[in-house]
Amino acid sequence: MTGRSGAEVMAALGDIAPDFARYIFEFGYGDIYSRPGLDLRTRLLATVAGLVCLGHAEKELEVHVGSALNVGASREEVVEAIMQMALYAGFPAALNGLFVAKRVFAARDAEAGLQEGLQAR
Amino acid sequence: MTGRSGAEVMAALGDIAPDFARYIFEFGYGDIYSRPGLDLRTRLLATVAGLVCLGHAEKELEVHVGSALNVGASREEVVEAIMQMALYAGFPAALNGLFVAKRVFAARDAEAGLQEGLQAR
Amino acid sequence: MTGRSGAEVMAALGDIAPDFARYIFEFGYGDIYSRPGLDLRTRLLATVAGLVCLGHAEKELEVHVGSALNVGASREEVVEAIMQMALYAGFPAALNGLFVAKRVFAARDAEAGLQEGLQAR
Amino acid sequence: MTGRSGAEVMAALGDIAPDFARYIFEFGYGDIYSRPGLDLRTRLLATVAGLVCLGHAEKELEVHVGSALNVGASREEVVEAIMQMALYAGFPAALNGLFVAKRVFAARDAEAGLQEGLQAR
Amino acid sequence: MTGRSGAEVMAALGDIAPDFARYIFEFGYGDIYSRPGLDLRTRLLATVAGLVCLGHAEKELEVHVGSALNVGASREEVVEAIMQMALYAGFPAALNGLFVAKRVFAARDAEAGLQEGLQAR
Amino acid sequence: MTGRSGAEVMAALGDIAPDFARYIFEFGYGDIYSRPGLDLRTRLLATVAGLVCLGHAEKELEVHVGSALNVGASREEVVEAIMQMALYAGFPAALNGLFVAKRVFAARDAEAGLQEGLQAR
């Protein structure tokens, strides 16, 4: 769900806190994200909104914007979920969030362009 | 959408900051909630998640849990959106949020019971 | 500057953390508020804005709204400083702040009414 | 470790989020608090400091001040850990924390007085 | 009021959230900053204090330190407003704020030096 | 206690806010850290936990992880104090904290390796 960026974060923890990586996967992705009561797309859009409100979670926001796209949310939906948080957490938090989303979208476009280029050869 | 509790909050602002109530309705409900790119149920569940992460917005969380139910989210979905925030904002924020939801659900049950009682007479 | 409410807070600390009350007066009111580079009215309005953004400092906000009025800020200025924080910290924080100000204003009106009543006798 | 207040909190979750109570015990007390690398007294004093900095976790702070005392921290140590956070999270957060500690200490004194009275009969 | 840095931020939003830039100008600068009840210099110093307390709004703080200078606040007043927040939001938030102000002052000095150099030719 | 990094931070303040550096040393290290009621190792581990929960204090966290090691805390204890905050402040705050600790540990290893190399010559 989180793709490569999530895996990289976890690998980097390996030498100082290996159990912590395990907790995130067991508690986070095992216990919480596998629960039936809410569809994954809504779960991820809610997480994106929550991370915007936290204010200090830029790296996790980047990972979860990607995850939201991976489970079927559109770019427009991600932008709307972030923008709406201006009402509750203020403009700075929403602005920071929009710039994170912009970076994720650009990285995906660049990667898609690269793969197209490779296939065109 | 927010029902009586939202209206009461706004009325209480009337004597010290009447324009502020207008801003909330114009900017919040006029500009943001009427945007097409995200359905209202997801918007409200994302807001519930965001308010849980803020930590200091108990009254607004109460109003928006009610709004989420009003636009079609189930109680289970509200609980899942709150619970999931334990991963990102910690257990205290999620616990506070669950207790707010519990109060909203109980108030709705009490009101429903009252109306049933009235109809039974 | 803070009047009775500040004194009461400090007295309540006496039995568990007496030095802490001293720190607040020495560092806060001795070192910081006595500095020349910014007038007291602006200092207090800036503090009101800052406390609104913190989100968890309702009691201190109450004390400092009173202090702002004591050093010459008008009620309107206090309301504007709080309201403006909606842009930066979101509507819930600003709303909570406006309700604190409303309580302080009402308490002052009640006290003024009482004193008028006493003098009229 | 948390005594009665922790149990009550969990029981209250039973009807809306029963799994959540289980997560707190399994992940919190099972996975984290049972880890060997840090003694329980330091763990709890660190938690008290962390909860003071969060600002929105008054109920959990109350529970954990009690837990800190239960695992051998002195009242003075609890007060010092809270007071020190004024440097990092500001005076309002530290003041709120000191008042929570004061309430916990008073409740313990009242309970001790009650038990003494019972034994004296 | 915000000069070039504000304009750049808004332009960067154009391709993912064009309406959002409009909201900031309409709601922020149209509705809030044009209100009569508080002079612009105090409004901006209050905003600087508020952004320091938020902790996660470094870019906006940079823009608004510049705006405060643009509407007539002195560097000393900006420094005092930031420094004072150590009391309420702790030393880390105030320190971060002072370093932001230092960068803004240095950039202005560099630009002034450049223009002087150009005129001297 | 804070070593070189603390001194550098203070020196950088010299030209815009020289008194502020003095306040930090007088109030912070004079008044608070010299108090008897809590040992320095626990004080620093509590501070590390508190700074993790703040979320916006990465530079101070770096300085204080170093201070904790300087006054006798082990790397494992620092990691445990940070990791435990996932329960209270969420995974993003704890993850950010672990990466700060990782950087501090790596810098110390690099410096130790350098000194060993110098002595081996």
B61 → chain A, closest CA residue: A88
Which of F53, F91, F100, F103 to substitute to test the interface with A, most A CBs within 10 Å?
F91
Neighbours of chain E (3+ CB pairs under 8 A): A, B, C, D, F
Rounded CA-CA distance F107/B44 in Å is 46
Asked if E37 and C76 come within 8 Å (Cβ–Cβ), the reply is yes
> What's the confidence (pLDDT) of residue E5?
64
Stretch A20-44: mean pLDDT, rounded? 90
Question: How much is the mean pLDDT over chain B?
Answer: 91
F81: distance to nearest CA of chain A, Å? 12
- pTM score, two decimals? 0.93
Assign B15 a pLDDT band (cuts: 50, 70, 90).
confident
CB contacts of D97 in chain E (<8 Å) are none
Cβ(C73)–Cβ(C113) under 8 Å?
no
CA distance D69 to D1: 9
Residue A89 to chain E, least CA–CA distance (Å): 10
Contact C84 E48 (CB under 8 A): no
Cβ atoms C60, C96 nearer than 8 A = no
- Residue in C with minimal Cα distance to D102: C16
Chain C residues in contact with B60 by the CB 8 A cut-off are 91-92, 95
Q: How many CB pairs under 8 A join C and E?
A: 104
Are the beta carbons of C87 and E32 separated by less than 8 Å?
yes
Give the position of tokens 């500001």. D90
Q: Do A94 and E20 touch (CB under 8 A)?
A: yes
CA distance A74 to A83: 14
Nearest CB partner across the interface for A93, out of E23, E28, E56: E56
Task: State the pLDDT confidence band at B109, using cuts at 50, 70 and 90.
Answer: very high
Low-confidence ranges of chain D (pLDDT < 70): 1-6
Q: For residue E73, give the 3-state DSSP assignment.
A: coil
pLDDT at A8: 77
Confidence of residue A4 (pLDDT cuts 50, 70, 90): low
Chunked mean pLDDT (size 10), chain F, 121 residues: 68 87 84 92 98 96 96 97 97 96 96 87 76
> Which C positions 72-101 lie with beta carbon below 8 A of chain B?
75, 79, 83, 86, 90-96, 98-99, 101
Tokens for C83?
């309201």
The rounded distance, in Å, linking the Cα atoms of F60 and F50 is 11
Confidence band for A74, pLDDT divided at 50, 70 and 90: very high
Give the residue, C21 or B78, on which the prediction is more confident. Answer: B78
The single-letter DSSP state of residue A38 is S
Residue F63: predicted pLDDT: 94
Q: Is the Cβ–Cβ distance between C108 and B18 less than 8 Å? A: no
Whole-number pLDDT of residue D2 = 60
Residues of chain A contacting B79 with CB distance shorter than 8 Å: 37
Q: What is the pLDDT of residue E3?
A: 59
For residue A86, the chain C residues in CB contact (below 8 A) are: 90
Q: Give B-chain residues touching A35 at CB under 8 angstroms.
A: 80
pLDDT band at B11 (very low <50, low <70, confident <90, very high): confident
Residue of B77 and B26 predicted with greater confidence: B77
Q: Under an 8 A CB cutoff, do A19 and D35 touch? A: yes
- Asked if the Cβ–Cβ distance from C50 to E53 is below 8 Å, we say yes
pLDDT digits (tens, 9 = 90+) for B27-36: 887 888 989 9
Residue of D52, D84, D88, D95 to mutate, testing the E interface (most E Cβ within 10 Å of its Cβ):
D88
Report how far residue E12's alpha carbon sits from residue B65's, in angstroms, rounded to the nearest whole number: 34
Measuring CA to CA, how many Å separate B90 from each of A17, A54, A117, C77? 19, 11, 44, 37
Query: Does residue B7 have a pLDDT over 80?
Result: no
Q: How confident is the model at residue B3 (pLDDT cuts 50, 70, 90)?
A: low
Contact B54/C55, CB-based, under 8 Å?
yes
pLDDT for position E12: 84
Q: Could you state, in chain order, the average pLDDT of each consecutive group of 10 residues for chain E (121 residues)?
A: 68 87 84 92 98 96 96 97 97 96 96 87 76
What are the pLDDT digits (tens) for C25-69? 888 878 889 899 999 999 999 999 999 999 999 999 999 999 999
Of E87, E92, E93, the CB nearest to D91: E87
Per the CB < 8 Å rule, is F15 touching E99? no
- Residues of A with CB below 8 A from E51's CB? 92
The pLDDT assigned to D78 comes to: 98
- In this prediction, residue A2 has a pLDDT band, given cuts at 50, 70 and 90, of low
* Residue F1 burial (C-beta neighbours within 10 Å; 0-12, 13-18, 19+): middle
State residue E100's pLDDT score. 97
**Residue F13, C-beta contacts closer than 8 angstroms, at least 6 positions apart:** E95, E98, F20, F21
Tell me the two tokens of residue E13. 């939003």
Report the gap between the CA of A97 and the closest CA in chain C (Å): 14
Q: Hey, how many other C-beta atoms are within 10 angstroms of the C-beta on C29?
A: 14
Compare C16 and B68 and report the one with higher pLDDT: B68
pLDDT tens digits, residue range C90-108?
Answer: 999 999 999 999 999 999 9
| Structure confidence at residue C14 (pLDDT) | 83
Structure confidence at residue E74 (pLDDT): 98
- Which residues of chain D have a CB within 8 Å of the CB of C28? 91
Radius of gyration from C-alpha coordinates of chain F: 16
CB proximity under 8 Å: D 21-50 to A: 23, 27, 31, 35
Subunits in contact with chain B (3 or more CB pairs closer than 8 Å): A, C, D, E, F
pLDDT of residue C1: 63
Q: A114 pLDDT band (50/70/90 cuts)?
A: confident
Residue of F nearest to D78 (CA): F38
The DSSP symbol for D56 reads S
pLDDT at residue F22 in the model: 84
Least confident stretch, A98-112, B71-85, D27-41, D75-89: D27-41
pLDDT at B5: 64
Tell me the per-residue pLDDT of C44-55, one tens digit each, with 9 for 90 and over: 999 999 999 999
